[in-house]
């Protein structure tokens, strides 16, 4: 069995040592818009060009952005919203209308080359939407053909959680709940249309979930001595990214589709985060992203597909202050919203690192030890703060009892202080089951104890 697997991977590798088409290895950039302080699309396009990006990916079909991208050399990826997938899957007229409205007016001056039907549908959408995904992709492809648009590749972005097993890479297999019903027809569609499997790959999250057993340098493409050998194939891995990507190649091969190419729809490393988040800092972000650019522009491929080109998008253009979730979600940008660089990077890979400014040393590559509180970060929006206080008090078990009239934390009778107590109490109770210290940007973590007098704020101890 081991010999058969080895023969299989050798054929697998040889088939992709030369790319079937000339795709630029130069990365693109993901242009998210979840910020209330971002520059205009025109300014953003100037900044994208200053980074020497080859492509740009947006998460909708924003007309202002598509207009700003006219007459540039940037290849563009747009997206059909998740909520339209079910309707489009059964309605060719709706599909035609979407393409007529969102693509046709920009042809040929905006170089729309990729159309993603939804974002990580198989991770976040209830089962009811999954059967509609591939039919929607087929209808969108038919609509493009109707309007004579032939250069647009149709796909959908998937996260690594589409896999049930990923280690060693040769054991890569799709989840049983989607393998035959969704993945097989999708791969058939991608193979038939010569499109890509668009994959979101984040070694950061894999490393951060197990920093004891996964070497940080291995995750950052910096490993000199740490390697992982796949016992099934003998392939040797020098970084976590290759290991993750090859697991998907083997999963596709297992379903009978060894020829489908992977397009890295997102990858990156956060430049900042919350106190309880490890390794999210400027040094690591710059190191990962610069090394990623070196890797893909060198066209070395992966151990399972050596020499293959991996077209890609780095995530993201800006730090986006309105993204929900942990602090890392708001700190993946290459740029601050004012357009200044978080750190120096050249997506063409042509600038020597010796010309980049020095990086600040990392200070959170080991887990924080101590207590953390969650407190109100803003006083200006009274209405929103009151609503967040009400929400926090409606969760958990006795979350807000101490701030009731006559109780030990009622005074000072202040919305700000009551919200701070409620946020800390909520987070201390619910963090382990997914509760976050965010509250639509109204809260922040602190290592400084906000307790006073007899009022002791609940905390999280790490």
pLDDT (tens digit per residue) in 63-76 = 999 999 999 999 99
Confidence band (pLDDT; 50, 70, 90) for 379? confident
Helix (H) or strand (E) holding 422: helix 415-430
pLDDT beyond 60 at 2: no
Question: Is 70 exceeded by the pLDDT of residue 16?
Answer: no
Residue tagged 């602190």 (tokens): 446
Res 22 pLDDT > 90? no
pLDDT value at position 12? Answer: 53
Extract long-range pairs of 238-244: CB within 8 Å, 24+ residues apart: 239/203, 239/295, 240/203, 240/206, 240/207, 240/214, 241/201, 241/203, 241/267, 241/292, 241/295, 242/302, 242/303, 243/167, 243/169, 244/160, 244/166, 244/201, 244/203, 244/206
Q: What is the pTM of this model?
A: 0.92
Tokens 């297999």, located at residue? 173
Assign 396 a pLDDT band (cuts: 50, 70, 90). Answer: confident
Question: In 3D, which of 180, 185, 179 has the Cα closest to residue 138?
Answer: 185
**Strand arrangement of the beta sheet that strand 261-266 belongs to:** 261-266, 196-200, 153-159, 111-119, 75-80, 55-57, 28-30, 313-315
pLDDT of residue 312 exceeding 60, the answer is: yes
Residue 7 has pLDDT above 80, yes or no: no
pLDDT of residue 424: 97
Do the beta carbons of residue 169 and residue 163 sit within 8 Å?
no
> How far apart (Å, rounded) are the C-alpha atoms in residues 421 and 397?
14
Q: Is 118 helix (H, G, I), strand (E, B) or coil?
A: strand
Q: Is 141 a residue whose pLDDT tops 50? A: yes
Backbone dihedral angles phi then psi of residue 179, each to the nearest 5 degrees: -55, -55
> Binning pLDDT at 50, 70 and 90, where does residue 19 land?
very low
Chain segment 355-371, per-residue pLDDT in tens: 999 999 999 999 999 99
Torsion over CA of 451, 443, 325 and 221, rounded to 10 degrees? -70
For the cut 90, the answer to whether the pLDDT of residue 228 exceeds it is yes
Average pLDDT score over residue span 215-244:
97
Mean pLDDT of 122-144: 93
* Banded model confidence at residue 381, pLDDT cuts 50, 70, 90: confident
Which residues carry out catalysis?
120, 266
CA angle 438, 442, 443 (to 5 degrees): 50
Q: How high is the pLDDT of residue 9?
A: 47
Mean predicted lDDT score pLDDT of the chain: 94
Residues 213 and 280 sit within 8 Å (Cβ to Cβ):
no
């Amino acid at each position: 069995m081991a010999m058969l697997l080895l023969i299989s991977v050798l054929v697998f590798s040889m088939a992709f040592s030369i790319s079937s088409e000339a795709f630029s290895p130069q990365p693109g950039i993901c242009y998210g818009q979840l910020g209330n302080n971002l520059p205009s699309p025109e300014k953003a396009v100037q900044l994208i060009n200053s980074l020497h990006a080859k492509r740009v990916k947006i998460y909708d079909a924003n007309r202002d952005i598509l207009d700003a991208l006219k007459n540039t050399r940037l290849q563009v990826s747009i997206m059909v919203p998740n909520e339209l997938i079910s309707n489009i899957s059964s309605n060719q007229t709706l599909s035609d209308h979407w393409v007529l409205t969102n693509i046709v007016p920009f042809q040929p001056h905006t170089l729309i080359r990729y159309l993603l039907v939804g974002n990580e549908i198989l991770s976040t959408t209830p089962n009811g939407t999954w059967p509609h995904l591939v039919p929607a992709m087929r209808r969108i492809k038919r609509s493009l053909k109707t309007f004579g648009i032939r250069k647009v590749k149709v796909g959908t972005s998937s996260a690594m959680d589409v896999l049930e097993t990923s280690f060693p890479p040769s054991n890569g297999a799709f989840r049983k709940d989607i393998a035959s019903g969704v993945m097989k027809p999708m791969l058939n569609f991608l193979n038939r249309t010569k499109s890509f499997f668009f994959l979101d790959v984040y070694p950061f999250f894999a490393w951060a979930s197990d920093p004891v057993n996964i070497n940080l340098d291995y995750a950052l493409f910096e490993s000199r001595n740490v390697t992982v050998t796949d016992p099934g194939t003998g392939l040797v891995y020098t970084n976590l990214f290759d290991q993750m990507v090859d697991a998907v190649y083997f999963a596709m091969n297992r379903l009978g589709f060894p020829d489908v190419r992977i397009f890295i729809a997102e990858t990156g490393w956060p430049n900042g985060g919350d106190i309880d988040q490890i390794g999210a800092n400027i040094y690591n972000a710059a190191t990962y992203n610069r090394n990623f650019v070196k890797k893909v522009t060198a066209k070395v491929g992966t151990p399972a597909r050596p020499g293959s080109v991996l077209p890609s998008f780095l995530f993201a253009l800006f730090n986006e202050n309105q993204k929900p979730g942990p602090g890392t979600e708001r700190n993946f940008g290459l740029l601050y919203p004012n357009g200044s660089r978080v750190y120096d990077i050249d997506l063409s890979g042509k600038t020597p690192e010796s010309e980049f400014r020095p990086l600040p040393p990392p200070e959170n590559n080991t887990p924080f030890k101590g207590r953390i509180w969650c407190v109100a970060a803003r006083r200006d929006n009274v209405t929103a703060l009151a609503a967040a206080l009400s929400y926090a008090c409606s969760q958990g078990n006795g979350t807000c009892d101490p701030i009731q009239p006559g109780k030990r934390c009622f005074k000072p009778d202040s919305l700000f202080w009551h919200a701070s107590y409620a946020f800390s109490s909520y987070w201390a109770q619910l963090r382990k089951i997914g509760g976050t210290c965010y509250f639509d940007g109204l809260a922040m973590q602190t290592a400084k104890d906000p307790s006073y007098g007899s009022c002791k704020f609940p905390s999280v101890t790490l």
